[in-house]
A and B are shown apart, each in its own frame.
Chain A
Amino acid sequence: MSDEPNLDDFFPPRASLDKTPAAEPLGIVMAGSLSKGLDVKLAGKRLIEGLAVGRYVVIHGQGQQFFCMINDVALDNTNPLVEKSPPDMSNPILDRIHRGATVFGRVHVAPMLVLDGDTPKPVKTVPSHFAEVYDATEEDINRVFGQADEEHFWVGAPLDMEETKIHLNVPRLVERSIGVFGKSGTGKSFLTRILLTGVIKQRAAVNLIFDMHNDYGWEIRTEQRESVKGLKQLFGGQVAVATLDDESSRRRGVRPDFVITLGYDEIEPEDIAMLRQTMDLSDRMIDAAYLLRRIWGKGWIRRLLHADGEEIEMISGTTSIHASTLPALSSRLGRFRRFDFLKEETTDKPVEKILEYLEAGKSIVLEFGRYGNALEAYILVANYLTRRIHDQYVRRMEQALGDRSQEPRPLLITIEEAHKFLDPQIARQTIFGIIARELRKYNVTLLVVDQRPSGIDEEVMSQIGTRITALLDNERDIQAVLTGVSGAGGLREVLARLDTQQQALIMGHAVPMPVVVQVRPWDAKLYAIEGTAGDESLTLMADRASRTLYGDEGFEGFN
């Protein structure tokens, strides 16, 4: 035998390296199927308490690796008698003997993808019996979810893998509508802010955010009564803050880029049709509104609100409108008088102003101030603006005739309390239902934030490309979110066991497989990594300080 050194001693063949994972296997595959998932027997040394639903494992099959998610954890034994007559586990050696041999943990895993080469592929088969199962490594996770680049944005970490990053493919995220769901207090706004940060940072789309509770603009008060930065502070000139309630904005130290007012003359019957449920408008009232618009023209609301009994009688007498309908409609629309942003007459052109910003690549956060608590104000304004902006987008897309350079920038519209806009009874007619259904045909998509997904029209839900779901405990809501998702049975367990805050299940178009993430914190580290405002933000802060000291006279405008 030759004493000469063999090259293989120093550099083992690659195949053998690939076949020998460094870590101890977590267990072995016992049984299962592609449709129902696989049962894995845990190794004796493995603590079952260290495993949680939603975690990832990789099964090393004979020819390929299967990336799987744990969706159930169970106790098992080799003989049911052990349950009736448990061994003496006070003896530590007996304890160690029985664990793993007589009694053992069993986890149910759903095969999600096959790791073959750089691109994960859909799984179409299962690994063979007794294939070894390993914890997914950071490298495995990156192979599936991609690494940080100009398309991928870091949203959080997989469960129990704090150092590993899960990235969303942002261009794919905005390609279709997005849903952020979760019961009250689970951090939907926080999740939405993270997503919007990714969209703005990657410049995947411009945003129009209907900010009901002032959760996105300049500064946000958390539930813990702490102040955290809003999108404007992070992205400076890339984000503009508009407001319906200038007074509230100023009180909170926000200097809005512009104030929005709407004229009664601009409101059309279609704008109030969406308020049918919120304002308890009957079909007759809606019909009357259309008729009044035809008879009185643009000033129909103003004229109805000022009409005396004689004029109302005259209209009732000369049209098919019932005598009691007009006073009732007038009384309902009279509630608009509480909204100071609605003016008898205004020269403001809010739609043009917003489009101007959007065209310049600036996202807009529209704060509702004190009107955030008035649902009819929120629905009216969101519907009013979106209908008109969508019309403009449709027109521009048609003018572009497929010339991508002429197309308007992709627009992502964020609405909260989405079930009020996308209720099955109205979703087919409303602009939001239309946008959700037409996908990105006109470069407009929705980001809907809601706590009652079961209240959203089923067809609209099926068109939501990416669903990001915090904890839900209502069975109907869970059902609604999982409709149309393959392997929903396993995900149901995962969804019902999320932490109450900062955990979410992401599934759909932007991720290759459903993923439970511990959402990254919204803190100074995030500001430093993602924020692009830099000196510009400092200028803004200096400006705020200046206004506090000297009032508005010293202020010369924003960037």
Chain B
Amino acid sequence: MSESMLAIPVGRVLRANVTNYVIGCRAHKEQLPAFGSLVKTDANDPVFGLVYDIVMSDDPLIKQLTVAGNRVPEEIIQDQLQNRRLPVEISVLAVGYYLGGRMRQGIPPRPPLSLDFIFRCDDDELTAFTERSDHLSLLLGNREIPADELLVAHLQQAAAARPSPTDEYFLQDAGGELARLLAVDMLRLDGILRRITSEKK
């Protein structure tokens, strides 16, 4: 993703608590952050989070347009795509924060504020954030999100942000941490590890 794209905010905070927050945006399809992406608030001490859900709600006009078939003029469709009345809602799991100039992993001491801008993290930030793997236990223990899929997507993106062969070392270290955390659940561990390493096989 280009630097100019990264500089464009994904959207603004709609609502938030310390464990997760929701971003509202009108972004185009290609501007939407992917499932598993690392994002951050623009505050002095940003809160980092992983995108775990993207929701596009409907409104009465959308409902009418979907049943109108081919009779809807193209300019109206394009107008709806460009000027949505309802935002795309992106759910983010808070996994880290800055405190005292240091990047930390875990639940932030306070949530981001409404209307705070949210940006994607670049490869350097993603690499720096994933130098430690303390946040993995936050994901594994969360039963309200698709934790395993989020974990796989996040680790694959974090590996892709690194040059070869450090990407493999990263996966080994993260896999080792997962093996420690999931020592009692071999089937779950095996499923996750197979998927995070499938592209490296």
Interface residues of A (CB under 8 A from B): 44, 78-79, 81-82, 85, 87-88, 91, 93-94, 96-98, 100-102
Whether A101 pairs with B180 at a CB distance below 8 angstroms is: yes
Our pick among B171, B175, B186 for the contact of A79 (Cβ within 8 Å) is B186
If A78-B183, A79-B183, A102-B183 touch, whether A91 touches B175 (CB-CB below 8 Å) is no
A93 to B197 Cα, complex, angstroms:
7
A97 to B189 Cα, complex, angstroms:
11
Whether A94 pairs with B197 at a CB distance below 8 angstroms is: yes
A474 to chain B, nearest CB (A): 43
B140 to chain A, nearest CB (A): 15
CB-CB < 8 A to B190: which residues of A? 85, 87-88
A4 to chain B, nearest CB (A): 28
Whether A102 pairs with B189 at a CB distance below 8 angstroms is: yes
B182 to chain A, nearest CB (A): 9
If A87-B193, A88-B194, A101-B180 touch, whether A93 touches B186 (CB-CB below 8 Å) is no
Nearest-CB residue, chain B, relative to A81: B186
A514 to chain B, nearest CB (A): 36
Which residues 148-201 of B have a CB within 8 angstroms of A?
168, 171-172, 175-176, 178-180, 183-184, 186-187, 189-190, 193-194, 197, 200-201
B187 to chain A, nearest CB (A): 8
B184 to chain A, nearest CB (A): 6
CB-CB < 8 A to B171: which residues of A? 93, 97
Whether B176 pairs with A44 at a CB distance below 8 angstroms is: yes
Whether B172 pairs with A93 at a CB distance below 8 angstroms is: yes
Sampled A-B contacts (15; CB under 8 Å): A44-B176, A78-B183, A81-B186, A88-B194, A91-B197, A91-B201, A93-B168, A94-B197, A97-B171, A97-B176, A97-B197, A101-B176, A101-B180, A102-B183, A102-B186
A94 to B175 Cα, complex, angstroms:
8
Nearest-CB residue, chain B, relative to A87: B190
Whether A82 pairs with B172 at a CB distance below 8 angstroms is: no
A82 to B182 Cα, complex, angstroms:
12
CB-CB < 8 A to A97: which residues of B? 171-172, 175-176, 178-179, 193, 197
CB-CB < 8 A to B172: which residues of A? 93, 96-97
A511 to chain B, nearest CB (A): 41
A87 to B194 Cα, complex, angstroms:
9
Q: Which of A78, A85, A88, A93 has the most CB of B within 10 A?
A: A93
A96 to B170 Cα, complex, angstroms:
12
Interface of B is mostly: helix
Whether A101 pairs with B179 at a CB distance below 8 angstroms is: yes
CB-CB < 8 A to A98: which residues of B? 179
A488 to B41 Cα, complex, angstroms:
65
Whether B186 pairs with A82 at a CB distance below 8 angstroms is: yes
Whether A101 pairs with B197 at a CB distance below 8 angstroms is: no
A88 to B197 Cα, complex, angstroms:
11
A79 to B183 Cα, complex, angstroms:
6
Whether A94 pairs with B179 at a CB distance below 8 angstroms is: no
Which residues 68-121 of B have a CB within 8 angstroms of A?
none
Whether B175 pairs with A93 at a CB distance below 8 angstroms is: yes
A-B CB proximity, top 8 nearest: A97-B175, A101-B179, A78-B183, A81-B186, A101-B176, A93-B197, A91-B201, A102-B179
Nearest-CB residue, chain B, relative to A98: B179
Nearest-CB residue, chain A, relative to B190: A87
Nearest-CB residue, chain B, relative to A97: B175
Which residues 14-30 of B have a CB within 8 angstroms of A?
none
Known interface pairs A93-B201, A97-B193, A101-B180; 11 further A-B residue pairs with C-beta atoms within 8 A, sorted by A's residue number: A78-B180, A78-B183, A81-B186, A82-B186, A87-B190, A88-B194, A91-B197, A94-B193, A97-B178, A98-B179, A102-B189
A44 to B179 Cα, complex, angstroms:
12
A29 to chain B, nearest CB (A): 18
A44 to B169 Cα, complex, angstroms:
14
Our pick among B178, B184, B186, B193 for the contact of A85 (Cβ within 8 Å) is B186
CB-CB < 8 A to B184: which residues of A? 79
A87 to B190 Cα, complex, angstroms:
7
B130 to chain A, nearest CB (A): 16
A239 to chain B, nearest CB (A): 62
A28 to chain B, nearest CB (A): 14
A219 to B179 Cα, complex, angstroms:
63
A101 to B175 Cα, complex, angstroms:
9
